[in-house]
Chain A
């Protein structure tokens, strides 16, 4: 156990530093792509969940329940193997963006719904009285107020997104978690430095996001009191 963090292991890791940097880059790409898809789906289904149309509402509900209640690991495997056994060679990066986008999109739709419902009913009536269309109401009245409310939880979801890229380890996704465990298993078994570096990299990406989100949330609660 004494040589878990031995100096030569660190040197070995330093020689292969590009492996980790590339892994981090892939993770960030997947997170960015996933975030865009998740925001798109989240806002669409969030708006549907608050609409008066019964069908749209139940559709949003089904989407939320499915992707919130099934583990991301299973979603990734489902998407990946469906393509592979159909004879389509799909890149794990695309699978990651799809799975993370769908899953986090469900969580974001719930945040968006909460944000829209946090706007007092009277404001909708007021805009209707002013003759604004639904789209105008959203753009001019609801969205600017809503952004402030939903920003902190959205940022938290971004951190969750980055952390959850680790499920791609299951399908050899070349993400940070995969390259770390792969580097460890195929090399000198330098678990100590590799896992420490991997953890630090994730922490360095996610901590600023979550701590800023919390500070914003506190600020927001403070102004409302």
Chain B
């Protein structure tokens, strides 16, 4: 059987398939964005509590971070998928990723907060500001600037990790691509060939590669600016 690769791509690119994959990609974007937003908020709260919250919260949050750093992401997706008290399948599955990502962001923000000299806190105190004012006005903006490159890298990992959600049958990008690949015979009219695997997964790889390369280029530029600063 001799089939031209361009012919194969034309056969695979039916409007139904394209629409299906595009929807998956859109869902992946939405998921990544939502997870980042929630986990950033969670991570910042945890980091602030750990740095300024006293001994007991510090211990608890250290344990939280250690647990999530030393167990696989997929396990948390499964656990949250079953035990989280949300009605929506999407929310339950993505909350697992939120927890994992929050632990990572917590460590980043804490590193950023620690890099701010102690004297600034004392200076703020001497101006009569309370702790919350000092954090919001003085410390956090500086810490945030320091961690921007790390945050962009976290964006890349979250974007990649959304592909785990296909394991609990969330129709994200990779899940859709795999499904089209496995049922390629419907659109091509012959049994699935290695070429179909290359076309479909190669396409998915290209999309991931382009988006993440752009993000990592931005992260590198931000890092350079930071050092120059």
Tell whether, in the assembled complex, residue B78 and residue A195 are in contact, meaning their CB atoms are under 8 Å apart: yes
Nearest CB of A to B189, in Å: 16
Asked if A77 contacts B178 (CB within 8 A), the reply is yes
Q: Is A181 within 8 A of B174, CB to CB?
A: no
Residues from chain A with a CB closer than 8 A to the CB of B38 are none
Q: How far is the CB of B112 from chain A (nearest CB, A)?
A: 17
User: Is the Cβ of B208 less than 8 Å from the Cβ of A81?
Assistant: no
Measured between beta carbons, the chain A residues less than 8 angstroms from B163 are 71, 73-74
Q: How far is the CA of A198 from the CA of B73 in the complex (A)?
A: 12
Chain A neighbourhood of B202, CB < 8 A? 78
Interface size class of B (residues with CB under 8 A): 35 or more
Most chain B CB neighbours (cut-off 10 Å) among A66, A71, A81, A198 = A71
Q: Could you say which of A164, A166, A202 has the most chain B C-beta atoms within 10 Å of its C-beta?
A: A166
Q: List chain A residues, Cβ under 8 A from B79.
A: 191, 195, 199
Say how far B175's CB is from chain A's closest CB, in angstroms: 10
Partner of A69, one of B83, B161, B212: B212
Query: Would A81 and B174 be within 8 Å (CB), given that A169-B167, A170-B167 are in contact?
Result: no
Measured between alpha carbons, how far is A159 from B71 in the docked complex, in Å? 9
- Across the interface, A203 reaches (CB within 8 A) one of B70, B74, B166, B205, namely B70
Q: Contact flags (1/0) for A170-195 with B, using CB distance below 8 Å?
A: 10000001001100000000010001
Residues of A near B181 (CB, < 8 A) are: 81
With a cutoff of 8 Å between Cβ atoms, the chain B residues found around residue A180 in the complex are 75
8 Å CB interface, B41-74 against A = 66-67, 69-74
Inter-chain contact B216/A68, CB cutoff 8 Å: yes
Give the distance to chain B from A87, nearest Cβ to Cβ, in Å.
9
Known contacts A77-B174, A81-B181; A69/B209 CB under 8 A: yes
Do B74 and A177 touch across chains, with their CB atoms under 8 A apart?
Answer: yes
Say whether A81 contacts B71, CB under 8 Å: no
Q: Does B140 contact A (CB under 8 A)?
A: no
Complex Cα spacing A211 to B67, Å: 12
CB distance from A201 to the nearest CB of B (A): 9
Distance (Å) between the CB of A190 and the closest chain B CB? 11
Given contact pairs A73-B164, A202-B71, A206-B70, A85 touches B194 in the complex (Cβ within 8 A):
yes
Q: By the criterion CB–CB under 8 Å, are A71 and B167 in contact?
A: no
- A109 close to B (CB within 8 Å): no
Contact with A along B125-169 (1 / 0, CB 8 A): 000000000000000000000000000000010001101101100
Chain A residue nearest to B182 in the complex (CB): A81
A81 to B184, CA, bound (A): 13
B167 touches A159 (CB 8 A): no
Q: Nearest residue in A to B208 (C-beta to C-beta)?
A: A70
Which of the listed residues B163, B178, B181 has the most CB atoms from chain A within 10 Å of its own CB? B163
- Give, as a whole number of angstroms, the nearest-CB distance from B181 to chain A: 7
- Is the CB of B183 closer than 8 A to any CB of chain A? no
Let me know if B78 and A181 touch, CB within 8 A: yes
A166 to B193, CA, bound (A): 27
Determine the chain B residues whose CB is within 8 A of the CB of A82 once the complex forms: 194, 197-198
Shortest beta-carbon distance from B93 to chain A in Å: 14
The closest CB in chain A to the CB of B192 belongs to A85
26 pairs of residues in contact across A and B, judged by CB atoms under 8 Å = A65-B209, A68-B212, A69-B208, A70-B160, A70-B212, A71-B163, A71-B174, A73-B160, A73-B164, A74-B163, A74-B201, A74-B205, A74-B208, A78-B201, A78-B205, A82-B197, A85-B196, A166-B75, A169-B74, A199-B71, A202-B70, A202-B72, A203-B70, A206-B69, A206-B71, A210-B70
Residue positions of B touching A, CB distance < 8 A: 66-67, 69-75, 78-79, 82-83, 156, 160-161, 163-164, 166-167, 174, 178, 181, 192-194, 196-198, 201-202, 204-205, 208-209, 212-213, 216
